[in-house]
Amino acid sequence: MMDNQKEHLDQKNLLVDALDDLDKELSTLRKQKQDLEGGMSSTSDSLSSTKNQELKLKDELRKLIEKEELLGLKREKIEEKLATIKEKLAKVTKIKDELSEV
């Protein structure tokens, strides 16, 4: 009878030790899960921030392209005016030369 009780107690101790080991492993796994979830949250926030920054940069680029187009149009107008002034200057010079010949 004593052997039976000792055997039963040994089995119980083994089961208690196994349960303790499982509890420790479960605790470790929960901590790892918590760490991973925290990392995922941080990564998600970072991704969101990066996407927002990308949208801002795209908007700035769009505005710069619009400005570039406007400056291109202004340049064309200025070049046209310059050509007109050059033509008028050439005419004035021609008239001046003709008058000085007289």
Range of the domain at 46: 1-102
Q: What share of the chain is helix, strand, coil (3-state, %, to 5)?
A: 100, 0, 0
Domain count, the chain: 1
Q: What is the pLDDT along the chain (102 residues), one digit of tens a residue?
A: 567 887 888 888 899 999 999 999 999 999 999 999 999 999 999 999 999 999 999 999 999 999 999 999 999 999 999 999 999 999 999 999 988 887
The rounded distance, in Å, linking the Cα atoms of 25 and 18 is 10
First and final C-alpha spacing in the chain: 149
**Could you tell me the two tokens for 93?**
């010079």
Phi-psi category of 40—alpha, beta or left, where left has phi over 0 and alpha has psi -120 to 50? alpha
